[in-house]
Amino acid sequence: MEISDWRSKIDSLDQQIVQLLSERAAAAVAIGELKRRNSGPIYEPQREKEVFAQVRSLNPGPLTGPQMQDIYERIMDVMRALQRAPQA
């Protein structure tokens, strides 16, 4: 494949990633609403450890486990911020 072919593939993958991140964010917002109703904490370190362990175990490479966790740490930071934000 040529570089333009690889870039087209990346564009298509980005479209899928954005869709999935949006779906994940909607789920996080719903969970945040439930946590507020039940006076639960937004930050749950044990749950985050479970998510990190799961994504590391699912990771086929070429990203390393620590690299995958770095990505998910940022995703989790953003999801927590969404949960904290008042919803309209």
* Domains of the chain and CATH, by start: 3-84 (1.20.59.10)
pLDDT tens per residue across span 44-87: 999 999 999 999 999 999 999 999 999 999 999 999 999 988 76
Alpha-carbon gap, residue 83 to 35, rounded angstroms: 9
Give the pLDDT score at 34.
Answer: 94
What's the pLDDT score for residue 86?
75
**Residue bearing tokens 């990203």:** 63
Rounded CA separation 43/28 (Å): 12
Cα–Cα distance, 30 to 24 (Å, whole number) = 10
Residue 88 scores a pLDDT above 90: no
Check residue 87 and give its pLDDT. Answer: 66
State the Cα torsion 79-24-52-11 to the nearest 10°.
-110
